[in-house]
Amino acid sequence: MTKLGKTEKFQDGGKPSKTVKPSEIITVGDKEYNVEIADTEEARVDGLSRVKKLASDEGMLFVHDEVTSGYYTMKDTSIDLDIIFIDKDGTVIKVVTAAAHSQDPIECDNYLYVLEVNANSGIEEGDELNFEDNSFTEEEE
């Protein structure tokens, strides 16, 4: 895994850059990622903003409290990303490659998770999300 650089000033707003702090291993399709979990409103809003570099096997998994509809933007994000919307069953329902600093909304309906990884990941609609330790899966009744 690639080590990320030292903290430095972010060009927009003077906030320091940051690195991803992976805490969970997931697979999507045939790809494995070490992801940081964003499961609070504050963490979801901050997301990958100010991250200057992302290793090929790193990303961020946004975990929502319930199935939701909405949008993501790349306003304060310095690297091109794939934004992957995943439903409550763990199925990829939408993949969008987004340009750094774009303020265009990337919208989707009926997702529970959003995965952000480097652009051109090869993840496709229909791929399945799996957690190494099932810590985020819900029991269906």
Measured at the alpha carbon of residue 129, what is the angle toward residues 127 and 130, in degrees to the nearest 5? 135
pLDDT-wise least confident of 1-10, 55-64, 99-108: 1-10
Q: Bridge partners of 92?
A: 86
Strands 81-86 and 92-98: antiparallel
Helix (H) / strand (E) containing 140: none
Indicate the SS3 state at residue 35. strand
For the cut 60, the answer to whether the pLDDT of residue 9 exceeds it is: no
Strand segments (E) across the chain: 24-28, 31-38, 58-72, 81-86, 92-98, 106-118, 129-131
pLDDT band at 27 (very low <50, low <70, confident <90, very high): very high
Say what the pLDDT of residue 12 is: 45
CA distance 141 to 135: 17
> Residues 66-80: pLDDT tens digits?
999 999 999 889 999
* DSSP 8-state class, residue 17: P
Asked if 113 and 64 count as a contact pair (C-beta separation under 8 A), the reply is yes
Percent of the chain with pLDDT over 70: 82
CATH 3.40.50.2000 for domain 24-131, yes or no, is: no
Q: Label residue 6 by pLDDT band (50, 70, 90).
A: very low
**Per-domain residue ranges of the chain:** 24-131
pLDDT band for position 103 (cuts 50, 70, 90): very high
pLDDT of 72 reads: 94
Please, what is the average pLDDT of the chain?
Answer: 86
pTM over 0.85: no
